[in-house]
Structures are given as structure tokens and as C-alpha cells.
Amino acid sequence: MPANLTPEYLAAEERFKQARSPEEKIAALEAMLSAIPKHKGTEKMQADLKRRLKKLRGEKGKKGATRHAAPIHYVEREGAGQVALVGPPNSGKSALLAALTRATPTIADYPFSTRSPLPGMMPFENIQVQLVDLPPLDPLFPEAWVPQTIRNADGVALVVDLGDAAVLDHLTQTLEQLDQGKIRVGQVQGELPRGFVRKPALLVGNKCDRPGARDNLEVLAELWGERLRLARPVPPQNAQAGGLLPVSAQTGENLEELRRALFELLGVVRVYTKSPGKKPDRQAPYVLPRGATVRDIAARVHKDVAAGLKFARLWGGTRFDGQRVERDHVLEDQDIVELHT
């Protein structure tokens, strides 16, 4: 059965090949294990990854960590995908995490209140998206493990304080810190340098209720909106240039639009299956990468279904109402598929 390895897995595999230290190899293997599709066709690969992880961890334990070795923080992916909250000090990342999830981070008006990754599950319609709050990216107080945690995520939410007069400088500094971690975000022209990864990103202008926020929003939209354009627009059109969204964790302004924008950032679709004559279960969709086909959903249901698949009937949008489609038909968000073998 084909493994159907994802781009995230292949990127993590490349990092493993380039890794030199045991810490780097462990982090890359953990990312590979998290990103690998979980089905019969990858069971042996999963077992091999776990074996290599166990061996590396054992060797690292025997050698003993140096006193100043950087900790490794790995957040296991849950839900439809994982988005890292990234930004300068006091941008309000923790407040957004608390407003969007049930997590209870330390929220303070002083910098560096977040010292380790804190995940929370954000409900969006009938799925959950995992958000991970991280320490701020600051050149004076760098955390060596943060770039690898961002690399493991499916997307990045760049959070800035719209009420800060120096917001443009802080965003530039954040992007420089990401670059030092070999991470490029948003729409990047040309090939990436060796060892770099690209992450889809959304620029979140927090504290839009503060004085001067709207003026700063216009400047950020003009300079960075195009690079951080989302693959799809966010309805209603509160985002500037498609990739910059003004919100307020304090007042709740545009938080519902932010939920949808973070879902769109993942580049996934929700697909439902049904048996002939029965209704689909709309509370338990399959989550697939955007561009997935009928064949892909069949493989997720069961390998035998995929092997014997002849055609499918599709309900979705305004064009399909039980219409017959072939195995290579590309699925859209919230399509309903009836598989015939």
C-alpha cells in the first residue's frame, strides 16, 4: 500500500539527513513520527522511527547532557493541524490562546511570561485546531529550542501589537529571528537556501482596539500584506490584503474570523462519507490536505476500499448532488462522498 508521505514528513526527513547532533536527530525523528500518515501502509515505517528514536534517546542519556544543553520541547500534534503563535514580547499571544481555547496561560503585562510551549485546542465548527503559545522571539533572550518547535508546526500565526508605535520594527526583528532559525514564512520567491523551510503564515494584528492601531494596520498591510496573503480569502473581508487580520483578545473583535483564518492557514479540507441511503455523520469529518482526491479519502477509510474503488457519488457546493465522479476527482471542503466498490 502506498505510504502517501506528506510534504511535512519529507521536510522532517531532510532535516534528519542534515542533522549532526543527537538533539537535532531526535527532534527531526519526532517530527517525522508526528507527520507520517497513520495507516496500514506505514506501520513498519512507524515502528522503525520509534526504534531509532529509542536508540538515540538511550545513547544521549548514556553520554549525559551538558549543564548548558538546550532543552528539547516537542508538542505532539493533535486535531486538524498545529499552528505556532509567534511574535515579539508583549504582543498578546497568551491572551489570544486563552480567548480561543480552554488553555490557561500566564497572562501578564510584562515580557517573557511564557517560558515553555503551551498548547490549546481551538474549536472551529466541527473540528479542533491546535494552537501552541511559544516564548517571544527576542535576540537578547533567545530560546534555542523554539525554531525547531516552529518547524514542526503546520503553520505560523505572527502576532504583533497594533497599539505599539514600534510594531514595524518588532515584526522585522521577529522575521530576522525566524530567518536565523532557517524558517521563511508566507509567500517566498525562488528556491529556499539549503536547510531552510517555508511555513504558511497569517499576520495577526492584536490589540486593534488600542489608540493608533488602525494607522499601524494600514502600514503593515502595505508592507507585508502581500507576502502573508492566505491561499483563500477570509469571509467577511476583515483581513487586509488577505493575510493580515486585526483582532482584539480583550474585546473579542474579529476572533471568529481569526478562527476561520487559522483553519484556512492549514491548507486542509473536511470530507464526509456516507453509505447508500444513509445520511453522513457531519460531526466526524475526515481531514485531508487541500488537493486530495476521492482515491485519497477511500484510502483513509480502509485500504480494501481504496483497492476496490470503482467510482463515487458526490454531494457538495452547487454543482454536485449525487453526481458520479471518478477516483481522481479533487475534493473541496465539506464535500460528501459515497464510495462504490
User: Can you tell me the distance from the alpha carbon of 64 to that of 68, in angstroms, rounded to the nearest whole number?
Assistant: 12
Q: Are 340 and 309 in contact (CB under 8 A)?
A: yes
Question: With respect to CATH, is domain 268-340 assigned 3.10.20.30?
Answer: yes
User: Can you tell me the distance from the alpha carbon of 88 to that of 164, in angstroms, rounded to the nearest whole number?
Assistant: 11
User: Can you tell me the distance from the alpha carbon of 279 to that of 34, in angstroms, rounded to the nearest whole number?
Assistant: 32
Q: Are 116 and 99 in contact (CB under 8 A)?
A: no
CATH of domain 82-265: 3.40.50.300
Q: What is the pLDDT along the chain (341 residues), one digit of tens a residue?
A: 556 777 778 878 877 877 777 777 888 888 888 778 877 777 888 888 888 888 887 765 665 544 444 456 778 888 999 999 999 988 999 999 999 998 887 665 544 555 678 999 999 999 999 999 998 888 877 788 899 999 999 999 999 999 999 999 999 999 999 999 999 988 777 788 899 999 999 999 999 999 999 888 888 888 876 776 654 544 444 444 446 789 999 999 999 999 999 999 999 999 999 888 888 888 889 999 999 999 999 998 888 888 899 989 999 876 778 889 999 999 999 999 999 98
Residue 269: strand, helix, or coil: strand
Question: What pTM was computed for the model?
Answer: 0.74
Residue-range domain boundaries for the chain: 7-63, 82-265, 268-340
- pLDDT > 70 in the chain, percent: 86
Q: Residue 281: which of 336, 233, 235, 322 has the closest Cα?
A: 336
Q: Residue 334: which of 289, 278, 287 has the closest Cα?
A: 287
